[in-house]
Amino acid sequence: MSATVTLTLHPAFSVAPVRRRTFGAFVEHLGRCVYTGIHEPGHPTADADGFRGDVLELTRELGVSSVRYPGGNFVSGYRWEDGVGPVEERPARHDLAWHSTEPNTVGLDEFMTWAEKAQVEPMYAVNLGTRGIEEALDVLQYANAPQGIALSDQRAANGHPDPYGIRMWCLGNEMDGPWQAGHKTPEEYARIATETARLLRQEDPDLELVACGSSSSSMETFGAWENIVLTDAYDYVDMISAHAYYAEKDGDQASYLASADDMDHFIDSVVATADHVRAKLKKDKRIMISFDEWNIWYQHRAESRPPQGDDWPVAPVLLEDTYNAMDAVVFGNLLISLLRHSDRVASASLAQLVNVIAPIMTAPGGPAWKQTTFHPFALTSKHAVGQVLDVRLTAPSFENPRFGESSTADSVATWDEESGALSLFVVNRGAEHSLALDADLTGFGDLELVEALTLHHEDPYAANTQDAPETVVPAANGSVTLTDGHLTGDLPAISWTLVRLARRA
């Protein structure tokens, strides 16, 4: 017999409103994300600007709300002005971050054109690695200032007379990482981030600024870095970044399935540090989190090793992980973690959007297809509306080497009072047995079941490929029923499930 997961939820117990920016993504000049990813002139679906129509369509279907650009490690050596003006006059340069050649065919103006077509909000990162305050102010004026000064007039001369109005700006990237161009101590970064933020705000007081947090919770600098940076920059920034990647390691399937436990702890730790600084400085404002890099990433695989030596290719095949059914379940669970922390996670960016550890894959000159991870993101983005609810859960636990004991189930729900839509997201993290779902929903009034979809495959390592793009897709879960406000159903081992309900008309 199946063990049971019991969910307790009520519309009165909300966490925070669903934030659309939770469903952001990331486009970096890395591998084939830009070239033959979003941009491929000559492709059968390409528009007049060279953007792949099939990728634009999938981006909109994915439900992406914002896109961080242009990096990532790339940005710490990037000269933004290389990517504006006549394309034939733009210089090609070596990108030291990924040992590639950047042709600068796509830059800020092209990205903003693409963002408008993709219907996404831009999030721009400035180079505080090899560059600094002056260049950050320059790119802000180029992007956002009305015509009448040199840089905004340059933008107009390049065919874009109206300001772009970019609101979110990242102050560098992973500056505590020794791999980063211009790697800095926390004190060094705190000063340049604070001074950059102060001047950017003089140019435009309404910007939303993101300071770099530690690049990983496993870094020795983690915690102390956030403390030092926020102590200096608190008055000038709105968010601090968090980055986390997960993968099955050394065959430890159990710990991998419990990855969201780590994300929960990570977020709670950053919140605790930010609130410690708030108390120390006696401030009213709360610093929020921009979880602007998160995903499944198998960093030990050959496809994650950049070229070497004299090989500096344009858009090499890099970080092109193929995701399986289990990856999609863990991925969906990470989204559950982000949603339940909506009171403090103000923005998030799935890294990345196309080809590079991405939900969308493309073949140069050929088709685009959905990876397994596409589905939980698209469905959560579409159906998580209203208020995030505090779901209390009772389920058996399972042992794993990393966390000791973890719950076999995890869940979050959203409730939209106005429309009467209730969405329940549940994962079975157990590798061997199904779970019987049991939830009392009588507190929501007279509901009806709209649909129940489960993503699951008998082989957890089954994947979607160019030749078989629908191997792992969500399917109707006919076991889920609603009787007198009582929801029941069966959740297969290693599965992600969406249950949609609505107030009866």
Identity of residue 190: A
Question: Checking DSSP bridges between strand 409-416 and strand 387-389, what pairing results, if any?
Answer: antiparallel
Query: Is 482:449 a contact under the CB 8 Å cutoff?
Result: yes
DSSP 8-state secondary structure symbol assigned to residue 301: S
**CB count, 10 Å around CB of 392?**
12
**What mean pLDDT is predicted for residues 260-284?**
98
Residue 270 lies in a domain: no
CATH number of the domain that 209 lies in? 3.20.20.80
- Nearest to residue 295, comparing CAs of 196, 374, 202? 374
**What mean pLDDT is predicted for residues 293-320?**
93
DSSP 8-state secondary structure symbol assigned to residue 412: E
Query: Is 400:252 a contact under the CB 8 Å cutoff?
Result: yes
Separation between Cα atoms, residue 94 and residue 98, nearest integer Å = 9
pLDDT of residue 483: 97
- Cα–Cα distances (Å) from 353 to 30, 68, 118, 270, in that order, read 11, 10, 12, 25
Residue 2 has pLDDT above 80, yes or no: no
Residue 125 lies in a domain: yes
Residue 40 lies in a domain: yes
Expressed as residue numbers, the domain containing 497 is 3-10+388-503
In the chain, % of residues over pLDDT 70: 100
| Phi, then psi, of 361 in degrees rounded to 5 | -120, 150
Angle between helices 374-383 and 53-62 (to 10 degrees): 60
- Residue 301: pLDDT band by 50, 70, 90 thresholds? confident
**What mean pLDDT is predicted for residues 253-272?**
98
Separation between Cα atoms, residue 31 and residue 54, nearest integer Å = 19
pLDDT tens, residue by residue, 458-496: 999 999 999 999 999 999 999 999 999 999 999 999 999
CATH number of the domain that 482 lies in? 2.60.40.1180
- Residue 303: pLDDT band by 50, 70, 90 thresholds? confident
- Residue 1: pLDDT band by 50, 70, 90 thresholds? low
Calculate the average pLDDT of the chain.
97
Q: For 284, what's the count of Cα atoms within 13 Å in the CB-facing half-sphere?
A: 0
Residue 210 pairs in a beta bridge with 170, 239
pLDDT tens, residue by residue, 391-419: 999 999 999 999 999 999 999 999 999 99
Question: Checking DSSP bridges between strand 447-455 and strand 435-440, what pairing results, if any?
Answer: unpaired
Quick one: CA dihedral 77, 81, 82, 83, positive or negative?
positive
Same domain, residue pair 398 and 368: no
Query: Is 493:427 a contact under the CB 8 Å cutoff?
Result: no
Quick one: CA dihedral 187, 218, 289, 352, positive or negative?
positive
Angle between helices 108-118 and 53-62 (to 10 degrees): 60
Residue 196 lies in a domain: yes
User: Considering 358, 383, 408, which residue would you say is the last residue of a domain?
Assistant: 383
pLDDT of residue 261: 98
**What mean pLDDT is predicted for residues 310-334?**
97
- Residue 18: pLDDT band by 50, 70, 90 thresholds? very high
Same domain, residue pair 352 and 448: no
Residue 182 lies in a domain: yes
Same domain, residue pair 447 and 362: no
Quick one: CA dihedral 258, 259, 264, 266, positive or negative?
positive
pLDDT of residue 433: 94
- Cα–Cα distances (Å) from 52 to 31, 45, 197, 211, in that order, read 16, 5, 35, 33
**What mean pLDDT is predicted for residues 383-388?**
98
**What mean pLDDT is predicted for residues 291-300?**
96
Residue 250 lies in a domain: no
pLDDT tens, residue by residue, 445-463: 999 999 999 999 999 999 9
Same domain, residue pair 197 and 322: yes
Separation between Cα atoms, residue 199 and residue 450, nearest integer Å = 51
pLDDT of residue 233: 98
Question: Checking DSSP bridges between strand 368-370 and strand 387-389, what pairing results, if any?
Answer: unpaired
Instruction: Tell me how long the chain is.
Output: 505
Residue 188 lies in a domain: yes
Same domain, residue pair 394 and 312: no
**What mean pLDDT is predicted for residues 43-66?**
98
User: Considering 383, 398, 414, which residue would you say is the last residue of a domain?
Assistant: 383
Same domain, residue pair 456 and 374: no
**What mean pLDDT is predicted for residues 129-157?**
98
Separation between Cα atoms, residue 236 and residue 234, nearest integer Å = 6
Residue 190's H or E segment, with its range, is helix 186-203
- Residue 302: pLDDT band by 50, 70, 90 thresholds? confident
Query: Is 3:436 a contact under the CB 8 Å cutoff?
Result: yes
Same domain, residue pair 346 and 450: no
Same domain, residue pair 154 and 53: yes
DSSP 8-state secondary structure symbol assigned to residue 12: T
**What mean pLDDT is predicted for residues 211-230?**
95
Same domain, residue pair 76 and 149: yes
Count Cβ neighbours within 10 Å for each residue of 218-252 and write b for 16 or more, e otherwise.
ebebbbebbebbbebbbebbbbbbbbbebbbeeee
Q: Which residues are catalytic?
A: 174, 293
Same domain, residue pair 352 and 421: no
pLDDT of residue 304: 84
Separation between Cα atoms, residue 373 and residue 398, nearest integer Å = 24
Residue 275 lies in a domain: no
Work out how many domains the chain is built from and give that number.
2
- Nearest to residue 172, comparing CAs of 240, 113, 234? 240
Separation between Cα atoms, residue 159 and residue 446, nearest integer Å = 55
Same domain, residue pair 324 and 432: no
Residue 504 has pLDDT above 80, yes or no: yes
DSSP 82-100: GGSS-GGGPPPEEETTTTE
Separation between Cα atoms, residue 253 and residue 238, nearest integer Å = 37
Same domain, residue pair 366 and 461: no
pLDDT of residue 111: 98
